Structure 1
Amino acid sequence: MTSMSEHHHHHHAHTGPGRASWRMAASATLHCLTGCAIGEVLGLVIATALGWHTVPSIALAVVLAFFFGYLLTLIPLRRAGVAWKDAIKLALAADTVSIIVMEIVDNGVMVAIPGAMDAGLASGLFWGALAVALLVAFLVTTPINKWIIGRGKGHAVVHAYHH
């Protein structure tokens, strides 16, 4: 098991600042989007089933998006033998900015599309708006992740553990 500092040094030797590819950024963003989408959908399904209004629905969806976003990073880190404390630190470092940006964008798009938040789960408007919101979030977050990874931050801190 490598320590965080050994991994950090090794990773910089491998990728170095400024060397993030668009493919790596898109992969990191897709990874984040997957966790966010699971949390968003689950949160909105639960909130709709409970008859909640927009603000508490979004709050639950955001909390679950962070939970699943981090979880999808924690699982491979733990499988790679990283201790819980280090895995949590790595997940927080890898995903926090990406999830924040993604959540602001996708929830902003959902709220901006008239009727989307009130459409209900059986509505094509709801699912179409959610698909558009997640696509826009992906397109906005990918260049941000490319810049962050290029600086040796964000998803770059866990890249060596993803095999």
Structure 2
Amino acid sequence: MLVQQSLVETTVPLVSGGWLSGIAKQIEHAFAPAREAIIPILSSPTVVGIWAVLVLVSVGVLWWDLRKNNQAIASMMRGVWSLVVLYSGPFGLLIYWYTGRTQISHDSLWRRGFRSTAHCYSGCGAGEVVGITLAQGILALGTAYVAGVTFTFAYLFGFALTVGPLMQDGVGFKEAMADALYSETPSITIMEIFAIGTDLLLASQAHMGDILFWSALAFSLSVGFVVAWPVNVALVYFGVKEGMSNPAKMGSQSTAGD
């Protein structure tokens, strides 16, 4: 009954009035079959419970590996990978395992793209969680306002994760901010369009007490990561972003120091 109610409620147009309403209706119509298939899954306490256990196990494996085998990884990237795995569970752990450990056999463009996406994802994901929780969960704002507030928080958190380390390295605020705007805006924009859009498509009428509110948020974060990865690969390839450093070199330096 609750699933059926959610399905009915989510047919409410995401934006009212004007050409935005028309676009929203077209998007809703195009994704209606997928939405109707996904919502019951994300509303299932059993499925969500299993996923929560997988996330906890994945975070535990990550922290064990960082402490046991990858102490050379910088503290910032430890935090980045912790958030990535917390958001995306086994999916995030798999990305860390094949692209972020000092034991990787060699570096590559696709690995650099994954690390760059993970760095962006950790900050933007935190901003999205804060934005959705505040705007929709606590303040119960309209959908357009929820999207606007969430975009704002995602940009703030995403830019902060780039500007902060640059300023710690001695770069001035204006220069650091200009660098963040230039290198991070395309990735953040694409990531959040799809992440926030997915969340609102699935759970725009959900409340904080509903399982769907949290499960759709988690699902939307991973969607954002997937669509942002090729964007980051392109940005690294064309030199817009440097990409995160090769972790294998950190391991080599640590071994040499020992």
Measured after TM superposition, the shift of residue 159 of structure 1 is: 4.9
What amino acid does structure 2 have at the position aligned with 1:86?
A: E
1: distance between equivalents of 2:140 and 2:228? 31
The normalised TM-score by structure 1 is 0.78
What amino acid does structure 2 have at the position aligned with 1:140?
A: V
2:125 pairs, out of 26, 33, 37, with 37
Query: For residues 81-100 of structure 1, what are the alpha-carbon distances to aligned partners after superposition, in whole Å with 9 as ceiling and x for unaligned?
Result: 11111111111112100000
2: distance between equivalents of 1:159 and 1:38? 19
**Which residue is equivalent to 1:27?**
115
**Which residue is equivalent to 1:59?**
148
1: distance between equivalents of 2:201 and 2:232? 24
CA RMSD of aligned residues (A): 1.9
Is 1:134 aligned to residue 256 of structure 2? no
Measured after TM superposition, the shift of residue 20 of structure 1 is: 5.9
2: distance between equivalents of 1:26 and 1:110? 22
Query: For residues 96-132 of structure 1, what are the alpha-carbon distances to aligned partners after superposition, in whole Å with 9 as ceiling and x for unaligned?
Result: 000000011112211222xx12212222211111111
Is 1:144 aligned to residue 231 of structure 2? yes
What amino acid does structure 2 have at the position aligned with 1:34?
A: S
Query: For residues 33-60 of structure 1, what are the alpha-carbon distances to aligned partners after superposition, in whole Å with 9 as ceiling and x for unaligned?
Result: 1111111111122213122121111110
Question: Is the contact made by 1:42 and 1:64 (CA closer than 8 Å) also made in structure 2?
Answer: yes
Is 1:46 aligned to residue 134 of structure 2? yes
What pairs up with 1:115-134 in 2 under 5 angstroms? 116-134=203-221
Is 1:99 aligned to residue 188 of structure 2? yes
2: distance between equivalents of 1:64 and 1:38? 8
Specify whether residues 44 and 60 from structure 1 end up closer, same or farther in structure 2 by C-alpha distance, changes over 3 A only: same
What amino acid does structure 2 have at the position aligned with 1:42?
A: V
1: distance between equivalents of 2:134 and 2:212? 18
SS state at 2:239 partner:
coil
Instruction: Detail structure 1 runs of 4+ shifted over 2 Å in the superposition.
Output: none
Question: Is the contact made by 2:128 and 2:151 (CA closer than 8 Å) also made in structure 1?
Answer: yes
**Which residue is equivalent to 1:90?**
179
The normalised TM-score by structure 2 is 0.51
Query: For residues 131-162 of structure 1, what are the alpha-carbon distances to aligned partners after superposition, in whole Å with 9 as ceiling and x for unaligned?
Result: 11111111111011101110001x32x757xx
Bigger radius of gyration: 2
Specify whether residues 45 and 111 from structure 1 end up closer, same or farther in structure 2 by C-alpha distance, changes over 3 A only: closer
